[in-house]
Every structure is written in C-alpha cells, then in structure tokens.
Chain A
C-alpha cells in the first residue's frame, strides 16, 4: 500500500509540475519548436515529443535548478536531437561566427512589418548550428547569460561573448535596433 501511495504521490507531483510548466512556458515551447522545425506537421510532432519528454523528466526533477531552466534544457535537447538526426539539414548549418559569410535576403534593410521581421529572424535561426540556436532562442526569450549558461552548459563569459556577436548580427540583419 505504501508503495502504491508513493507512486501515486510521485505521479501527482509529476502531473502538477507538468501542468505548471505547460501553463508558464507553453507558448515559449511553441516558439522554441518553430526555431527548430519549419514544417508545421513535423513541428507538431516535435512539440508533442518535447512535452512528453518534459513530463517524463519530472519524475527525476530534484529542484536543484529552476523549473524554467529544467524545461528549457530538456526542450532544447529534444529539439537538438531532432536537428542532429536530420543529416541533410545538419550539413548546411553554420555557426554564429560564420553566419555573415552566408548571403542573406534583404539584409541591412529595415523590416517593414513585424511579420517580415519574424520571417527574417526565422531564416537566420534556421541556418544556425544547434548550440548557437540554443543561445539565440534563449536570448530572444529574454534570458540572461547565467540562465543561458545553465541551459547550454557554457560558461556565462562564453555566453556573454556569443550574445554580443548575436546582437551585432541582429543589428546588421535588422537595421538599427535598440538593445537595452
């Protein structure tokens, strides 16, 4: 009886943690999936896989990091595995340092609308290698260098350097951008 009670308690906490995570980060997870997959059908499968892995992982969640860090780490891992497995896509990816050598569409001109800006941003993200993609997506979600470091496993100094490059690239791709 004690065993079943423990399992039931664990299930309840797993479910409640998932409900909490889905409510707080559901839309961010949807945006994250968009950064890794353009095809809506495959993206839905990817999103489903991300949610499933997050729910499964809560059985091992020990609270040593924040719920947000845990959720993002798992979501990025699932999405990265998705990209790594697509060898045809993988071979065309470039690092943030080399993105400037790749020709971009309409670079330098100001985006006329939010939709156009989003389109350009997606095109930029889709060209990046997984690690740089993790950093740029986390940056776009307003995370600081420490939080990004916790997710990616890089040092905050290394992340800060990458973020600096990302800002410079965004400035070149989107015209004059005001960064706080």
Chain B
C-alpha cells in the first residue's frame, strides 16, 4: 500500500443528501421540541400556582391559607428557575474545539451546581415550609380524630418515598456529572 490517504479517500461511501424541505422540517421540529419543554415547565408551574391559589382562597384557617399561598408563589418561582437553569445556552456553529469543550464543561458545571444547591435554587425550602403550614394544623387537630390522620397517611408515605428517591437520584446525578467533568479536565491536561 502506498499511502493511507488513498485508502481513506477511496473508501466506499453512501450517497447522502437531505432536501431543503426535509432540513426545514427537522429544524422546525427541533425548535418546536425546545419550545414545548420550556412551555411545559411554565405551564406546570402556572397550573400548580392556580390550584394552590384556589386552595388558599378556600382555606378558612390562617396557617393553611398561608401555606397554600407560599406553595402558590413557590410554584411560580420553581417554573421560572427550572427554565432558567436547565435551558441550554447557545454556541456559535463554527466554534473551534476548545470553545466547544469549554461550552460543554460550562453546561455540566451549571447542571452540577444546580443539583448541589437545589434546595436554594428551586426553592424547595419554601415548598416544604408551605406543605408544613398546610398539614401541621391538620395533624394537630387529628390527635382528637385519628381517622383523619389515617386518611392522610398515604400522602405522607408517598412524600417520604419521593424525598428519599429525590435525594438519591440527585446524588447519583451529581456523581456522574463530577466524573464527566473530571474526565474532561484530564483530557485537557493531556492536550496541554
């Protein structure tokens, strides 16, 4: 064999070309998908906000009313912040490799930081404060009528299970992100 470039350039290839219409369709599809996920987080937040606000309006006691109000405001904050932190940023299409790598690492670090400070960034403290304000009076009253407490038990079990699963998944995700960032750093050190 004379030159590997001959082998490389003369390898069999499959003809591939996309029509302008197909390209436009794919681009539109992608935009629509990104818009949908952004709209979904906002819509979910607004629906929750509306439900909690309605409960706030209907509650008779002060503490539960305050709790529903806090939850209503939290759902708005959560939607806005999830969208802001999770939404991917833009990268120039002709950016070179080091820019791409820096962009990718910035995205990974952004996700990792969001997970690390999720209680503050997604306002979960306010969420649990709201839940406590709503349910503590119910639990206190239920000492006299244990039936109410028994009815609410499945909710508390589900809440506890969700909290455990959430913490574990968040931890796993953070570990994975740490590994990815460490690998990127290692590969950059090799490069230099």
Contacts and interface: CB of A to CB of B under 8 A. Distances in A.
Contacts of A95: 190-191
A140 to B, nearest CB: 4
A87 B191 CA distance: 18
B17 to A, nearest CB: 5
Given A55-B23, A121-B8, A140-B9, A130 B16 contact: no
Interface residues of A, number: 58
A84 interface: yes
B50 to A, nearest CB: 37
Interface residues of B, number: 40
B23 A174 contact: no
A18 B23 contact: yes
Contacts, number: 128
- Majority secondary structure of chain A interface residues (helix, strand, loop or mixed): helix
Contacts of A139: 5
B23 A51 contact: yes
A175 B16 contact: no
A175 B7 CA distance: 14
Nearest to B103: A81
B27 to A, nearest CB: 6
Contacts of A34: 11, 13
Interface string B4-20: 11111111011111101
A123 B166 CA distance: 42
A180 to B, nearest CB: 8
Contacts of B179: 87
A30 B14 CA distance: 7
Interface string A139-153: 111100000000111
Contacts of B8: 31, 118, 121, 140-141
Closest 10 CB pairs of A and B: A153-B96, A57-B93, A30-B13, A140-B8, A117-B7, A55-B23, A15-B20, A27-B13, A118-B7, A73-B94
17 contacts: A19-B20, A26-B16, A30-B14, A30-B16, A52-B18, A52-B27, A53-B93, A55-B18, A84-B100, A84-B101, A111-B7, A114-B10, A129-B191, A131-B97, A153-B96, A174-B4, A177-B1
Interface of B: 1-11, 13-18, 20, 23, 26-27, 30, 92-101, 104, 179-180, 183-184, 187, 190-191
